[in-house]
Amino acid sequence: MEKDSVALVWFRRDLRDFDHAALSAALRSAGKVFCAFVFDTDLLAGLPKTDRRVDFIHRAVLELDAALRAKGGGLIVRHGRAVEEIPRLAAALDVASVHANRDHEPFARRRDAAVAQALAADGRRFADYKDQTIFERDEISTREGKPFSVFTPYARAWRARLTPLDLAEHDCTPKPGQLAFPGAVPPAPTLQEIGFAPTDLKIPCGMSGGERLCEDFLTRIDRYHATRDFPAVKGVSYLSPHLRFGTVSIRRLVALARERSLTPDGAGAAAWLSELIWREFYQMILWQRPDVVTHCFKREFDALAWDEAPELFAAWAEGRTGYPLVDAAQRQLLQTGWMHNRLRMISASFLTKDLGIDWRLGEAHFARWLLDYELASNNGGWQWAAGTGCDAQPWFRIFNPVTQSQKFDPQGKFIRRYVPELADVPDEFIHAPWKMPTPPAAYPAPIVDHAAARARTLARFGRLRAPV
């Protein structure tokens, strides 16, 4: 490509102006670089008007626009179908190439293929780059060149392959006058102008919010391995929405985790690094097996006979199952758009193993409410909990909601925060209030008996004679 050519960088789930693979490549290869973001109506259609994710993205877009303007450019923000808006904008700006970072979700792959085809028909080039993970696609494979299906050997191979070059920052420093912005372009639309409204979003947003949360977590990371499973404790990073929308750099986070993991107090950082590798594992699975979106990873389990129980599903979704920690988890999700990771496992196990309801319904509920919703991780986590996915453990692992509650919220602090009906219940009954001489009238009795449900689940899976 000629140095004096014009390029367009299409921002998507990478809303930052630093360590950005596509932006860096465009700045290296083009004399003039425009930047754009599209509020894609193909993705926004059907979302509630107070969707917290749209609010988060909008705030991040405004901050990114301001950052690019400070460097002499700006963000061209469109509202419409990205498959139409990007080729149209490329033609209007007469760019030679469009640069974007890869997204491995099936919808994104179809969208990008359509954009690339439209650009090619107009004599323009589409270039995409690895950015949201350290390793992608089939970069981490078995010795036979096949995809891993179990996390532990994948993680071992991932760590063995990692080099400082994989964590090198992409230079996004523009030359004077290199970033461009059309003079007649209107400012970014408001939330209302794209059909949405402000929300009760509490998390710090944008690049600045990601930096704040990262710096805060670094003061606690050495204790992560000991605190991460307790929802009443400030133990996790809270960075997942920023990873989802790319307001932080995965390369920087992995570099920080790896560096801290090699110190004498590095157990917490090592545990967090493992979680970042889990994220990449599920991204790899989705790219290799896009069928997992609607099918079980272990395809023999597509034959499972799940229960049709809309009333039970509604009780689970609304946090009125009678199991306090499950209900607290569900209410946290509805009230904040986030759920603690340990609780995601407990909640998913309860829906699939205690209520016998298809994991796909639970996955869709999380997809509706989670601020950090990411298809690969959400799908992988749900199938892990349901026993149908990538897991070295057999399908007969079934979480007991009471013992999980006793172990991870021993004083019931988290329960009382989200289930105020139980605020005055003594500690000895907080995990099973139905055992009180006089159970609280405002709180429901358990909608299912765990022991009986466990037996039904074992029979449900056992009928398929699945390998263990």
Catalytic annotation, residues: 275, 278, 306, 341, 359, 382
Angle formed by the axes of helices 267-288 and 250-261, to 10°? 140
C-alpha to C-alpha distances, 394 to 289, 386, 463, nearest whole angstrom: 20, 10, 15
Kindly report, residue by residue over 313-356, the tens digit of the pLDDT.
999 999 999 999 999 999 999 999 999 999 999 999 999 999 99
Position 463 pLDDT exceeds 90: no
The CA-based angle 159-271-336, given to 5 degrees, is 120
Please, what's the b/e burial string for 364-403 (b: 16 or more CB within 10 A of its CB; e: otherwise)?
Answer: ebbeebbbbbbbbbbbbbbbbbbbbbbbeeebeebbbbbe
Q: How far apart are CA 185 and CA 76, in angstroms?
A: 7
pLDDT of 296 higher than 70: yes
CB 466 within 8 A of CB 301: yes
Return the closest-CA partner of residue 189 out of 80, 83, 73: 80
Per residue in 44-64, pLDDT (tens digit) is 999 999 999 999 999 999 999
Give 128-145 as a DSSP string: EE--SSSS-TTSS--TTS
Reported confidence tier of residue 3, pLDDT bands at 50, 70, 90: very low
Written as six digits, the tokens of 54 are 């749209």
101 three-state secondary structure? strand
pLDDT, tens digit, 9 for 90 and up, residues 378-425: 999 999 999 999 876 667 789 999 999 999 999 999 999 999 999 999
The pLDDT of residue 1 is above 50: no
- Beta strand pairing status for 75-80 and 97-101? unpaired
Complete DSSP assignment for 373-434: --HHHHHHHHHHHHTSSS-SS-TT----HHHHHHHHSTT-HHHHHH-GGGTTS-GGGTT-GG
What are the DSSP calls for 266-283, one per residue?
A: THHHHHHHHHHHHHHHHH
How far is the C-alpha of 54 from the C-alpha of 57, rounded, in Å? Answer: 5
pLDDT in tens, 232-256: 999 999 999 999 999 999 999 999 9
Phi, then psi, of 137 in degrees rounded to 5? 50, -120
Query: d(Cα 155, Cα 464) in Å, to the nearest integer?
Result: 30
Report the share of the chain in percent with pLDDT over 90. 94
Q: Tell me, what amino acid is at 432? A: A
Task: List the domains of the chain with CATH numbers.
Answer: 6-131 (3.40.50.620), 133-168+208-288 (1.25.40.80), 299-462 (1.10.579.10)
pTM over 0.85: yes
Cβ count near 174 (within 10 Å): 18
Residues 6+ apart with CB under 8 A from 148: 140, 141, 142, 154, 157, 281, 284
Report d(CA 315, CA 23) in Å as an integer: 46
Instruction: For residue 362, count other CB atoms closer than 10 A to its CB.
Output: 26
Structure tokens at 448: 């299912």
> What pLDDT score does 216 carry?
98
